[in-house]
Amino acid sequence: MSVVSRGTVRIATERCKGCELCIPACKPNVLRMSTRRNGQGLAYPELLPGCTGCNACLLVCPDFCFEVYHFDEPVIHDVVLRESTR
Ligand code: SF4
Ligand code: SF4
């Protein structure tokens, strides 16, 4: 299956306090909390393919962790869906 990205984000993970407000704010549902931790020992978001560059994450984050970039042309990703083993 293919997923289109119209933008991307840069995330200042060291500033993130792990509040997770950005996760439901992202309507395309392309942010998820990482299993990795920053220097404060806190989980931070990571980006999956499909960002629209909508700025919602930038607007909701209380710690100004996001920079949003818009692509001139959409980028198409081929995504492999894995079935759950359970
Ligand atoms: S710019 Fe929009 S689509 Fe992209 S990660 Fe942020 S909230 Fe999600
Ligand atoms: S809203 Fe900002 S501080 Fe909260 S988890 Fe997302 S990036 Fe981190």
Give the start-to-end residue ranges of the domains of the chain: 2-72
Cβ(33)–Cβ(18) under 8 Å? yes
Show the tokens assigned to 52. Answer: 């629209």
**Contacts for 49 with CB less than 8 Å, ≥ 6 apart:** 3, 5, 30, 77, 79
In this model, does residue 85 exceed pLDDT 70? no
pLDDT of 84: 55
Q: pLDDT digits over 67-83, tens only?
A: 999 999 999 999 887 76
Q: pLDDT digits over 35-53, tens only?
A: 999 999 999 999 999 999 9
pTM above 0.85, yes or no: yes
CATH for 2-72 is 3.30.70.20
Q: pLDDT digits over 55-67, tens only?
A: 999 999 999 999 9
Instruction: Give the distance (Å) from ligand 1 centre to CA of residue 67.
Output: 10
Dist. CA 40–CA 22, nearest whole Å: 19
Q: Is the CB of 26 under 6 A from ligand 2?
A: no
Q: What is the total residue count of the chain? A: 86
Show the tokens assigned to 1. Answer: 């299956």
Nearest residue (CA) to ligand 1, atom 6: 57
Instruction: Give the distance (Å) from ligand 2 centre to CA of residue 17.
Output: 6
